[in-house]
Amino acid sequence: MKASFFKYLLQFKRPAGTSRGILQTKETYFLILEKNGKKSVGECALFRGLSSDDKLDYEEKLQWLVQNINLPKSELLKNLSNYPSIIFGLEQALISLENEEAFCLYPSAFTQGEVGIPINGLVWMGDKNFMLEQIKDKISAEFSVIKLKIGAINFEDEISLLKFIRNTFKYDNITIRLDANGAFSVSESLEKLKRLSDFDIHSIEQPIKAGQIATMKNLCATTPIPIALDEELIGYNHLFDKKSFLQEIKPQYIILKPALHGGFIGTETWIEASKSAGIEWWITSALESNIGLNAIAQFTYKLGVNMPQGLGTGGLFSNNFDSPLYISNGKLHYDPSKSFVFDY
């Protein structure tokens, strides 16, 4: 088996606002495998500034993988244990290489086009009018779950946006999720959560910055809104550590991103840990191209999910790859009559 890799810079159609700043581009890497005349691809979806493997030797580690690709899979995974996005790409490429169709990792009713995966409609940060426009668009597109990224504009403007949703649509028609990306200060977090709770919020992701374990534990115990941990999970790569972490903080939900949490195998150990702690979960993409998003979607469907997932990021980039994925009526679908356009 031969291997190679290359870097690719995804371009946002329009700047994407988060509490960590404005995103114009997203760097990613592709791992190419070749065996007996067949090729496969996996996306090593590094997230600069967020991934635990955002290290100076990232490309060196990819080069090591290329040179040692014929080692047993167990040895590869052991050596890559601190590089979750590379594990994510390796898993995709290996599974794809063994299947008849290059981009069909887990054949199912989803890949046959028979069913879709319910997803939330993502509203990016921006000025009040821009966010309001997105909210209206998502509801018109029949999303029943709206996820708003908050924390970058005036808090009172965010409150008014929530008032608009609740004054316009019945509570049982629209579910609201929030993602603060760690934007709240510790001193103001509980008071803000109390104010937000007036709007029947399903959950809020990462209200304060990751790494404040004692404070987050206390917040999860006293919050009027269920807390979903996201960035807080990054860097825990072993099952024992994951179980200990969840038993300590006791969040209401966790949000799993295969590219950040050790690929499919790492995601599955988080699910195992969450089940033992009685904590619910859902899966979210992390600004992958359609190559990585496709893999996550197929993996997610295989898990038998029923609550809406966070897989609606495929249309963000101007230079994404054409794929069978599309969104309709608040669900992510796969059209088996269409092909991926990826020249490798």
pLDDT of residue 310: 95
Rounded Cα–Cα distance for residues 103 and 105 (Å): 6
pLDDT of residue 20: 62
Q: Beta-carbon neighbour count of residue 20 at 10 Å? A: 15
Reduce the DSSP state of residue 115 to 3 states and report it: coil
Domain boundaries, the chain: 2-98, 117-334
CB contact at 8 A, 102 and 340: yes
pLDDT of residue 173: 84
CB contact at 8 A, 44 and 30: yes
Class of domain 117-334: alpha beta
**pLDDT reading at 45 higher than 60:** yes
Residue 255: band (very low, low, confident or very high) from pLDDT cuts 50, 70, 90: very high
Positions marked active-site:
149, 257
Task: Give residue 99's identity as a one-letter amino acid code.
Answer: N
Task: Give residue 278's identity as a one-letter amino acid code.
Answer: G
Reduce the DSSP state of residue 152 to 3 states and report it: coil
Q: Residue 281 pairs with which residues in a beta bridge?
A: 254
Rounded Cα–Cα distance for residues 330 and 146 (Å): 10
Residue 313: band (very low, low, confident or very high) from pLDDT cuts 50, 70, 90: confident
DSSP 182-209: TBS-HHHHHHHHHHHGGG-EEEEE-SB-
**pLDDT reading at 172 higher than 80:** no
For residue 173, what are the contacts with CB-CB under 8 A and spacing of at least 6?
144
CB contact at 8 A, 29 and 8: yes
What's the 3-state SS for 266-307?
A: HHHHHHHHHHHHCCEEEEECCCCCHHHHHHHHHHHHHCCCCC
Which run of H or of E encompasses 13?
Answer: strand 2-18
For the stretch 80-91, pLDDT in tens is 999 999 999 999
* Alpha-carbon distances, residue 167 vs 141, 143, 192, 323, 337 (angstroms): 19, 17, 20, 38, 42
Predicted model pTM: 0.94
Superfamily (CATH H level) for 2-98: Enolase-like, N-terminal domain (3.30.390.10)
HSE-CB for 231 with a 13 A CA cutoff: 21
Query: What average pLDDT does range 132-139 have in this prediction?
Result: 89
pLDDT of residue 18: 63
Q: Which letter does DSSP use for residue 318 in this model?
A: T
Which run of H or of E encompasses 81?
Answer: none
CB contact at 8 A, 256 and 277: no
CB contact at 8 A, 188 and 160: no
Q: Beta-carbon neighbour count of residue 319 at 10 Å? A: 12
Residue 280: band (very low, low, confident or very high) from pLDDT cuts 50, 70, 90: very high
